[in-house]
Amino acid sequence: MKVLKTIELDEEARFERYVLDIFLVALLPIGIWFLQPRVNRVVAD
C-alpha cells in the first residue's frame, strides 16, 4: 500500500497517508472495490 500511495502522491508516503488502505486490504472482499480502480489507473499510466 505504501508503494501505491507513493506513486499516486508522487512523493514518499508516510504511514498516516496509507493506514486506511491497509485496512481495506484486510477487508479484501470489500476493499478490492476501492483499491482495484486505483491500481488500474497506476498501471495504465
Q: What is the pLDDT of residues 1-45, one digit of tens each?
A: 899 999 999 999 999 998 988 888 888 888 888 889 999 999 997
Angle at 11 between CA 19 and CA 15, to 5 degrees: 20
Cell of 37: 480502480
Sequence-ordered alpha helix ranges (H) in the chain: 2-9, 15-26, 28-44
With beta carbons less than 8 A apart as the criterion, state whether 2 and 18 touch: yes
Q: Where exactly are the structural domains of the chain? A: 2-44
Give Cβ neighbours of residue 8 (< 8 Å, ≥ 6 apart).
38, 42
pLDDT at 11: 94
pLDDT at 40: 95
pLDDT at 21: 87
CA-to-CA distance for 32 and 12, rounded, in angstroms?
A: 23
